[in-house]
Amino acid sequence: MQKQRRRPQSLPACATGSRGNGSCSLPAPNISTGGGDVLHRTVAWLQSRHRRRWSDVAWDGEDVRYLGGRGLGRPRSRRSRGCFRGFDTSCYRGVHAGRLAALGCVLLFAATGAAAVEPADDILLDKLTDGEYSRRGADTCLGCHDEEEPFPTLDVFATVHGHPAVARSPFAMGGAEPPAGLQCEACHGPIGEHGRQILPEGVEREPILNFGKRGNAEASLQNGLCLQCHQTYARARWAGSAHERSDMACADCHRIHAETDAVRTMTGQNETCWGCHRDVAADALKRSAHPLRDSQIVCRDCHDPHGTDNDKLNVRATANETCFTCHAEMRGPFLWEHPPVVEDCMLCHSPHGSNQPALLVRRPPQLCQACHSSPGHRSLGLGPEQLPPRPTSEFLLAKACLNCHGEVHGSNHPSGNLFRR
């Protein structure tokens, strides 16, 4: 079911302070059920939630004020991202985004009288920055997490992430800088109160960062932790890539707590990609297809999932250059060039699969007539009276146009201008 967007609410106009430094003053809403107390509690919560970033938010009994400060409330701060949702911000162009976020939170909670419940992302961010690490490391985690869980944990010790001899591993033995050596908490964050064995009745266990499609944090937060170590040339173009813009997390494809990461194998990579790209999976089952089903080639042979500067995440600059890595005999140069071949292989071929021979998008002569609409000889369809064994047109049988024009990709023959030899 498609989520419905919350309709924007209008915030009151913002009056610039007399000092000209961008100070913002808004009248407190008139709430019959103790609006001032609700507003005071909300501002207090806002100060504690954002700590030093929001220390200048105050309520003096009449106005909510945010006094300008250098470096406060950066526009793209994840802590304040939720404050923008549901508000029309068009009239606040001259006001620092951080101040708008603060005032938006105050007015939202004060107007509704709602309790200020801290989102899970903010709790996790607080733990990552100020949380307390366990003195016992992984032993604390393994006291509860074992092989009986849906996602077994001990397999991590069969991977590079759990190998103590690898210098950058979370389980590295001495000499490495954090996050290496922090064991489970290198990725999942400080354990804090999550590691308490006995909790008071009615108290829920403090969350800890989980990864993957069912994780409890946004994809960008998950990926940020992975990129602490995996920031190499292969991932240099991840930011802004198609998968990053689609809020894909590294753990959506990669399995960390697994001895074998399926996406890194010939047999498992295509299946992993087809989990989202169902249309490509369907094409691979067609009569004419690249050997994707048999894993003789994999998606990574043509596409780079971590991002490229090219269209469709191609590993090469153009579709033709990608095709020529295997089909070098089609590269040319030829004495007689066929313009569609020079322009784009996919004008005639469907790369993932087709029900036509040779991955063609249509069967000749219909494919050829998409461009050659005024043939120099009769090549149009004939009636049933012309079908075998009666006389018929050789232009329509077997390979149709290709019966004569066999060198359609280009010819080096001196008389090959019509690609017949």
Task: For residues 148 and 219, state if they share a domain.
Answer: yes
The number of beta carbons lying within 10 Å of the beta carbon of residue 310 is 17
192 in a structural domain: yes
H or E element in which residue 38 lies: helix 35-50
Supply the pTM of this predicted model. 0.64
Query: Letter for the amino acid at 344?
Result: D
292 in a structural domain: no
CA distances to 347, 375, 389, 398 from 392, in Å: 30, 18, 8, 12
> Is the Cβ–Cβ distance between 263 and 272 less than 8 Å?
yes
Task: For residues 172 and 152, state if they share a domain.
Answer: yes
Domain termination residue (choose one: 68, 87, 117): 117
Task: For residues 110 and 37, state if they share a domain.
Answer: yes
SS3 57: strand
Task: For residues 141 and 254, state if they share a domain.
Answer: yes
Task: For residues 124 and 17, state if they share a domain.
Answer: no
Q: How far apart are CA 89 and CA 72, in angstroms?
A: 19
157 in a structural domain: yes
Residue 75 has pLDDT above 70, yes or no: no
Task: For residues 98 and 53, state if they share a domain.
Answer: yes
Q: What is the mean pLDDT of residues 36-56?
A: 44
List, in order, residues 6 or more apart from 356 with CB less than 8 Å away: 287, 288, 362, 363
231 in a structural domain: yes
User: What one-character DSSP code corresponds to residue 66?
Assistant: E
Q: Is 188 exposed, middle or buried (0-12, 13-18, 19+ CB in 10 A)?
A: buried
The number of beta carbons lying within 10 Å of the beta carbon of residue 167 is 13
Cis peptide bond upstream of 333, omega within 30: yes
Task: For residues 43 and 75, state if they share a domain.
Answer: yes
Q: What is the mean pLDDT of residues 345-369?
A: 91
Task: For residues 124 and 108, state if they share a domain.
Answer: no
28 in a structural domain: yes
Q: How far apart are CA 39 and CA 108, in angstroms?
A: 10
Q: Tens of pLDDT along 12-35?
A: 333 333 333 333 333 333 333 334
175 in a structural domain: yes
Q: pLDDT confidence of 80, banded at 50, 70, 90?
A: very low
Token readout for 218 is: 């946004």
Choice among 62-71, 125-134, 345-354 with the minimum mean pLDDT:
62-71
Domain termination residue (choose one: 259, 281, 301): 259
Residue 94 has pLDDT above 90, yes or no: no
13 in a structural domain: yes
User: What was the pLDDT predicted at 58?
Assistant: 44
26 DSSP β-pair partners: 64
Instruction: Select the more confidently predicted residue: 374 or 336.
Output: 336
Instruction: Select the more confidently predicted residue: 379 or 28.
Output: 379
Task: For residues 90 and 159, state if they share a domain.
Answer: no
User: What was the pLDDT predicted at 45?
Assistant: 47
Residue 287 has pLDDT above 70, yes or no: yes
Token readout for 113 is: 């009288």
Task: For residues 107 and 141, state if they share a domain.
Answer: no
The number of beta carbons lying within 10 Å of the beta carbon of residue 328 is 8
User: What was the pLDDT predicted at 33?
Assistant: 37
Domain that holds residue 123: 118-129+137-196+207-259
- Give the range with max mean pLDDT: 182-186, 214-218, 343-347, 362-366: 343-347
Task: For residues 94 and 122, state if they share a domain.
Answer: no
187 in a structural domain: yes
Q: What percent of the chain has pLDDT over 70?
A: 63
16 DSSP β-pair partners: 24
Q: What is the average pLDDT score of the chain?
A: 71
Q: pLDDT confidence of 388, banded at 50, 70, 90?
A: low
Query: Letter for the amino acid at 227?
Result: L
**Structurally, how many domains does the chain consist of?**
2
Choice among 232-246, 269-283, 284-298, 385-399 with the minimum mean pLDDT:
385-399
Q: Tens of pLDDT along 136-188?
A: 888 888 888 877 776 678 888 888 888 888 888 888 876 556 677 788 888 88
Q: How many Cα atoms within 13 Å fall on the side-chain side of residue 151?
A: 11
Task: For residues 28 and 146, state if they share a domain.
Answer: no
User: What was the pLDDT predicted at 314?
Assistant: 94
User: What was the pLDDT predicted at 389?
Assistant: 57
Q: How far apart are CA 335 and CA 329, in angstroms?
A: 14
Burial annotation 100-137 (CB, 10 A radius, 16+ → b, else e)? bbbbbbbbbbbbeeeebeeeebbbbbbbbeebebbeeb
List, in order, residues 6 or more apart from 418 with CB less than 8 Å away: 405
Q: What is the mean pLDDT of residues 343-366?
A: 92
Instruction: Select the more confidently predicted residue: 8 or 328.
Output: 328
Q: DSSP alpha helices (H): ranges in 86-165?
A: 97-112, 120-130, 138-142
Residue 212 has pLDDT above 80, yes or no: yes
